[in-house]
Amino acid sequence: MTLLLFLDRLLARITGWLIIFFLSVMILMAFGQVVLRNFFHTGIEWGDVFLRHMVLWLGFLGATIATGEGRHLKIEFVNKLVIKHYRKIVYIFTNLFASVVCYFLMRAAISFVQFEIESASTLILNLPTTYFIIIIPIGYGIIAFRFMVRSLAWGAEIIKGDWDVKEEH
CB-based contact 93:100 (threshold 8 Å):
no
Query: Per residue in 135-145, pLDDT tens?
Result: 999 999 999 99
Residues 125-134 as b or e (16 or more Cβ within 10 Å = b): eeeebbebbb
Instruction: Using DSSP, state whether 100 is helix, strand or coil.
Output: helix
pLDDT value at 158 more than 60: yes
d(CA 29, CA 26): 5
Q: How buried is 124 (Cβ within 10 angstroms: 0-12 exposed, 13-18 middle, 19+ buried)? A: middle
> Residue 169's pLDDT is what?
43
Domain parsing of the chain, residue ranges:
2-159
pLDDT value at 23 more than 90: yes
pLDDT value at 27 more than 80: yes
d(CA 155, CA 149): 10
Q: Which of 16-30, 101-115, 147-161 has the lowest mean pLDDT?
A: 147-161
d(CA 54, CA 4): 29
